Amino acid sequence: MQLRMILEMEIYSLLQNSLQGRDRFLPSTTPSKRAEVYYRRALADFIRTMVNRITTALSKKNLTDAVAISDDDYINTLIEVLASIAGERIEEKAKILATRFVDKIHYQNKTQFTRNFQNAFGVDLTSIIEQETLADTLALAIDRNVELITSIKNDFINDIGSNVFTNYKKGFRHGELINEIRERGNVSYSRAKLIARDQTAKINADFEEERNKKLGFDIYKWKGTGDARERDSHRVLNNMLCKYSDPTVYSDDEGKTWKKRSSIKAFVGKCGEDYQCRCLAIPYIKL
Ligand SMILES: [Zn+2]
């Protein structure tokens, strides 16, 4: 609180001169494409490694055993390798991956915010932004993504359990089994791609919120994507003013009055918070 007050006073004194007659909206920060691509690729590697371990184990079985291999042998090999993957602890690896991902989002958010502020108001916030640690948001985002990575692994194993074994019981050939495992890998990858995109937007939105709140900027303008995929509950908020401190209200008269979002069936939350939401928050800098 102490630090926040000092920051606010510093910014307000800096802004008093430059804000006169200037645009009071700041361009929004955008979720880092680089972070999303990094995460998507890292998750793809992670899934591919699991798929390869299983298919390699099953292929070896095929090559090394000269005598006819029974279905039971394949199933036993599959169970062994799945149990081995399931039993491995991946928290450390997942934490390194999640930390790199979240750091990339943080870096872009920080540099864009500073640059946008400089361009809009001619004020360099670099030293203030450097003091402003977003440690809570960082830690939460890393923890959440370690959980998501763990769930990708667990879902993949369970998915094989329910799909492959059911089909195998019906009489599966060796080649089909390998194809099925690759197919399960593709399903996991599709989910991982969605996770990478969703988390990039969400984490950026969380940084945006914490950064703005710490600087004393509570109000932002909701900027929708305006395309066909946008939900109606988000579309109705387009160009409306919103508050981080109260996501249940909006204003259509530049903040003079605040109305309940429920009255227009609008989403309750901030831009980027809803699943796969691509709406962006435009900070409203007001003295
Ligand atoms: Zn949206």
CA of 253 to the centre of ligand 1 (A): 21
CA of 225 to the centre of ligand 1 (A): 7
Q: What is the pLDDT of residues 189-208, one digit of tens each?
A: 999 999 999 999 999 999 99
Residue 167: pLDDT over 90: no
CA of 56 to the centre of ligand 1 (A): 43
- The order of strands in the sheet holding 280-283 is 259-260, 249-251, 241-243, 219-223, 280-283
CA of 237 to the centre of ligand 1 (A): 9
CA of 45 to the centre of ligand 1 (A): 30
pTM: 0.88
CA of 227 to the centre of ligand 1 (A): 10
Overall residue count recorded for the chain in this entry: 287
Measured distance CA(7)–CA(216) in Å, rounded: 8
CA of 277 to the centre of ligand 1 (A): 4
Residue 29: pLDDT over 90: yes
Provide, rounded to the nearest whole percent, the portion of the chain with pLDDT above 70.
86
Domain for residue 280, yes or no?
A: no
Which of residues 211 and 62 earns the better pLDDT score?
Answer: 211
CA of 238 to the centre of ligand 1 (A): 9
CA of 92 to the centre of ligand 1 (A): 33
Domain for residue 164, yes or no?
A: yes
Domain for residue 83, yes or no?
A: yes
Domain for residue 180, yes or no?
A: yes
Residue 161: pLDDT over 80: yes
CA of 220 to the centre of ligand 1 (A): 14
Predicted confidence at residue 130, as pLDDT, reads 82
Q: What is the pLDDT of residues 71-116, one digit of tens each?
A: 778 888 889 999 999 999 999 999 999 999 999 999 999 999 999 9
Domain for residue 243, yes or no?
A: no
Predicted confidence at residue 1, as pLDDT, reads 46
Structural domain tally of the chain?
A: 1
Question: What's the domain range around 195?
Answer: 2-216
Domain for residue 257, yes or no?
A: no
| Closest CA relative to residue 195, chosen from 99, 276, 104 | 276
CA of 129 to the centre of ligand 1 (A): 27
CA of 234 to the centre of ligand 1 (A): 5
Domain for residue 255, yes or no?
A: no
Domain for residue 197, yes or no?
A: yes
| Closest CA relative to residue 125, chosen from 134, 113, 135, 136 | 113
CA of 163 to the centre of ligand 1 (A): 34
